[in-house]
Structure 1
Amino acid sequence: MKKMIVKGEQKLTGEVTVGGAKNSAVALIPAAILAETPVKLDSVPDILDVHNLMIILRSMNVESHFNHGVLEIDPTQIKKAPLPGDAIRSLRASYYFMGALLGKFGEATVGFPGGDDIGPRPIDQHIKGFKALGAVVEEEGNKVHIKAGSEGLKGARIFFDLVSVGATINVLLAAVMAKGTTIMENAAKEPEIVDLATFLNNMGAKIRGAGTDVIRIEGVDSLKATNTHTVIPDRIEAGTYLAFAAANGNGVLVKNVITEHLDPFIAKLQEMGVRLEINEDSIYVPGGDLLAPVTVKTAPYPGFATDLQQPITPLLLKAKGTSQVIDTLYPGRVLHIKEMQSMGANISSKDGIITIKNSESLIGSEVSAGEIRAGVSLLGLALMSKGTTVINNADNILRGYERIIDKLRGLSIKIEIITDNREDGDK
């Protein structure tokens, strides 16, 4: 496991370029196995999740090569094989292989996915969609086996009981080569879903309505890549750096941003009194603003992203007054709170509401990154605190933020990474 050693009272200044979207890449990579040709993706983030997906590809005899953001995947020799348990358990997005394998082979056996500990994220809506397409779903221990009927998958009308990004993507992957027409209603609208639909359409799929709550899919017989697909910029990474710059920056330019993808986040920063200079594909944050408290309520896109409620917390701690965060999607997303309290933050949670009050006396401490976004919020707080903070389980941050140490170095921030090889019980 890795540790981050963060010296406090460091201010961000300079510029940072946002990489490709993690949440797009982890859907595009499983989608690539649907193609009958090699696939090339550009602007793929160099993060652990991507490398874990490459391990899963290799287990199916799918070669992949990753170099400077370009990921080449050759699914032409793909074989049906059980997916490796360790990679599956460490990465929740591995469940997209359910839909992709079901669409490719008519069956899939996948271990129940792992990923961040942010509370229950059931896959009942995924299974509901697969069943609607004519698949039989059997759960056995910690595995789920999905198999199409003798006549293959057939298009269907599917109304999701709740808005689910994962279910929308998974059913889309299964339906893209099903016979007939599939209509998904109450579908998620996230930009990453639009990115996936664009990728598939460029290979010959017939998907309409991505980005709205009704998606129509006309099944096709085959998919063939003819060009390189560029992954959209990561709106969560962009929002994280914007929040850090507003809380603790002295002139920060965040580049490679699709500003429309951040509309609700930008609106909340402006409500707090953060000055922003919004350009076509970048945002400049002068820093040093007097900040007002706000209430943040997460919601499916185009609402305030749940993945940004923790990264905005260091900024809320600087507001003069009491702010609240209500995460309607994952109310259990509170692993940062106890750690922040140990650093002197006036933050608490009760009845699904996180209360955040102005905190002046922040002191470095030894904390743990329980998951990606909780971990990065601790990093932001550490930079504002006095003294030194040690963040254990820093791998969780690294698996979600591409080259974060190098990017922070470009913002005049120094962070040390050390690998802790001690066994439990060692002194």
Structure 2
Amino acid sequence: MTQQSGRIWVMGGRPLNGTAAIPAAKNSVLPLLAAALLCRGPVRLRAVPRLSDVECSLGLLRGAGCAAYWQGADIVVAGMPSNSTLPGETAAQMRASILFCAPLLARLGRAETSLPGGCNIGARPIDLHLEGLARMGAKELDAGAGKLVLAAPGGLHGADITLRFPSVGATETLLLAAVCARGTTVLRGAAREPEISDLAEFLNRCGGRIEGAGTSTLRIEGRRGLSGCDFSPLPDRIFASTLACAAAAAGGRVELTGCPPALYAPVLEILEQMGCTVERGADRAEVARFGRLYGAGRVFTGVYPGLATDAAPLLAAAMLCAEGESSIEDVIFERRFGCAEGFERLGGRVKRSGRVLSVGPLPESGLHGAALTAPDLRGGAALVVAALSAQGKSFVEETRHIDRGYAGLWEVLASLGGRIGREMPPPDAAVKKIPSKKQIYLAFEAKR
């Protein structure tokens, strides 16, 4: 699928006020779509946001031979995979394409794909995925540069696996492999993120036997077949974090509904330390800022339940508006702060050193509008958040990055009172066509 880019314009300086409902989480929907390959019955995912990464996942499912389509706001997946080769161009567009390999191995004994892509935020090797799959009987075949071919002609079997780092992606891959493998798998050192628990709940609803989701040790008893089910993915804690940071940066009062505050508690706690008022309910939070913002001091990301790496650039955008100093270190990815250059263009006092972004006090003149380029998904959203607090007009180019994880971000912010819109390039129909030989001849005759 070709991603069409465009630009978002922001006229900053206006506070945000109102209520926003948090959609389903992209980071849950993608592994759930991969899990649908294991199901003999139809799968329906409820109220899925229309993201470019979701469209890529549907392309992978269709390439594998399944029916995968939208039905209103829901996605329906039906049929078993018949093709072990995933579409190369589609697979290369997003990191989550690696998740589709384990189900294909389990069902067809083989998986072939391009090496997965995604945001350029640092090294994201798949060695943990491959090491775990090898313990379960998969072999990596020589496929040439940029390709990945895995085979398990004898099928996958259970194993006792210890991850040396609690990788979310590797935990999801091995969970998907183990749920239909022969025997029992024990996965130690597993990630504990809410999206892991969501995937385990879905697989159990389909007939799987998974214990320990939400802890560092998972026990999976393999099952020959899984049925389908109707399932509502959990809400997007990163989307909620984005809007919470936007309220802190621009000022005003924003109520976020449909997402338990516990899912993004570190973000809310840091915003409180910076001077925001946060009210919490069972599945709602209200973030308000009417006075000054203060520096957050030194902040670190970490594995769940620590501060999510995806939230780091968003918090940094709010830190730009603080009167004191802050620093934020991402211990997961070494190039997480590609948005730093854009922060500088807005007039922010930032310094990047390795994994650490230092943020100085807000200049007396404040931030000002600028021409910006989204470097990646979360960095692009962070530039939009920062532009909301800047005086004057800003433009954020390369919005295709933002579209990977946010459905209509600018529309949500506009509904909260932000002066923001989107401009798209002219349609392909406007591209000048190559004239035919007859047209060239007629034009030549007319000139004579």
Please state which band the TM-score falls in when normalised by the shorter chain: over 0.9
**Do the aligned partners of residues 67 and 212 (structure 1) sit closer, same or farther apart at CA in structure 2, a change above 3 Å counting?**
same
**Is the contact made by 2:113 and 2:149 (CA closer than 8 Å) also made in structure 1?**
yes
The 5 Å alignment of 1:356-375 reads 356-360=359-363, 361-375=366-380
Pick from 342, 352, 356 the counterpart of residue 355 of structure 2.
Answer: 352
Cα distance in 1 for partners of 2:413, 2:71 equals: 22
Map of 1:14-53 to 2, 5 A cutoff?
A: 14-53=18-57
Cα shift readout 1:140-179 (whole Å, capped 9, x = no counterpart)? 21111111142x2110001111110000001111111111
Structure 1 residue 297 and structure 2 residue 331: aligned?
no
The answer for the alignment partner of 2:399 in structure 1 is 394
- Secondary structure, aligned partner of 1:276: strand
Q: Paired residue for 1:156? A: 159
1:396 positional shift: 1.0
* Alignment of 1:62 onto 2:66: yes
The whole-number CA distance in structure 2 between the counterparts of 1:409 and 1:68 is 24
Question: Is 64-73 or 388-397 further displaced after alignment?
Answer: 64-73
The 1-side partners of 2:142 and 2:356 are apart by 35
Among residues 178, 181, 184, which one is paired with 1:178 in the alignment? 181
- CA pair 223-288 structure 1, distance change in 2 beyond 3 A: same
Select which of 275, 284, 308 maps to 2:311: 308
- Distance in 1, matches of 2:146 and 2:108, equals 22
For 2:14 and 2:275, locate their aligned partners in 1 and report how far apart those are by CA, in whole Å: 22
With normalisation by structure 1, the TM-score equals 0.95
Of 12, 21, 43, the residue aligned with 2:16 is 12
Q: Of the candidates 224, 227, 240, which is equivalent to residue 224 of structure 1?
A: 227
CA apart distance, 1:319:
2.0
What residue is the counterpart of 1:240 in the other structure? 242
Once residues 14 and 294 of structure 2 are traced to their aligned partners in structure 1, the CA distance between those partners, rounded to angstroms, is 23
Provide the C-alpha distance between the structure 2 equivalents of 1:343 and 1:247, rounded to a whole number of angstroms: 13
SS of equivalent residue, structure 2 residue 223:
coil
Supply the AA of the counterpart residue of 1:393.
E
> How far 1:314 moved relative to its partner?
2.0
Maintained 8 Å contact 1:106/1:147: yes
Task: Tell me how far apart the structure 2 counterparts of residues 201 and 43 of structure 1 sit (CA, whole Å).
Answer: 20
1:266-304 residue CA offsets vs partner (Å, 9 max, x unmatched): 222222232111111111122214333222201011110
- Which secondary structure state, in structure 2, belongs to the residue aligned with residue 333 of structure 1? coil
Structure 2 matches for 1:15-414, cutoff 5 A? 15-76=19-80, 78-140=81-143, 141-150=145-154, 152-225=155-228, 227-294=229-296, 295-360=298-363, 361-414=366-419
| 1:139 to partner: Cα distance | 4.5
Looking at structure 2, the residues matched to 68 and 322 of structure 1 have their Cα atoms a distance apart, in angstroms, of: 47
Deviations 1:185-218 (A, max 9, x none): 1000000010000000001000001111000100
Is the 1:25–1:45 contact (alpha carbons within 8 Å) kept by the matching residues of 2?
no
Q: Which runs of 5+ in 1 are unaligned?
A: none
> What letter is aligned with 1:143?
K
Q: Secondary structure at the match of 2:314?
A: coil
- Summarize the Cα distance change of 1:246–1:164 in structure 2 as closer, same or farther, 3 Å threshold: same
> Following TM superposition, by how much is the alpha carbon of 1:416 offset from its aligned partner in structure 2, in angstroms?
2.3
- Scaled by the length of structure 2, the TM-score of the pair is 0.91
8 Å CA contact 2:136, 2:158 repeated in 1: yes
Unmatched 5+ stretches in structure 2 = 433-448
Aligned-partner residue type, residue 108 of structure 2 = F
Letter of the 2:163 partner, please give it.
F
Deviation, structure 1 residue 405: 2.5
Give distance in 1, aligned partners of 2:266 and 2:421: 34
Distance 2:115 2:291 in 1: 46
- 1:353 positional shift: 1.7
Larger radius of gyration: 2
- Root-mean-square deviation over aligned CA pairs: 1.6
In structure 2, what is the Cα distance between the partners aligned to 1:394 and 1:10?
A: 22
Give 1:20 shift. Answer: 0.1
C-alpha contact (below 8 Å) 2:43/2:230 kept by paired residues:
yes
CA deviation string 1:85-140 (max 9, x = no partner): 22111111111011121122221111100011101100000000000101111252
1:255 and 1:67 mapped to 2: Cα distance? 24
SS in 2 for 1:19: coil
Check conservation: 1:321, 1:358, Cα contact below 8 A.
Answer: yes
Give the deviation of 1:398 after TM superposition: 1.8
Question: Does the 8 Å CA contact 2:235/2:259 hold for their aligned counterparts?
Answer: yes
Residue 81 of structure 1 deviates from its aligned partner by 4.2
Quote the offset at 1:409 in angstroms.
Answer: 2.1
Alignment identity in percent? 33
Residues 353-385 of structure 1: CA deviation (Å, up to 9, x unaligned): 210012233111111001110000100111111
Give the Cα separation in 2 of the matches to 1:95 and 1:288: 45
Question: Is the CA contact (8 Å cut-off) linking 2:84 and 2:108 kept in structure 1?
Answer: no
Which shifted more, 256-265 or 180-189?
Answer: 256-265
Matched residue pairs, number? Answer: 421
Letter in 2 for 1:6: V
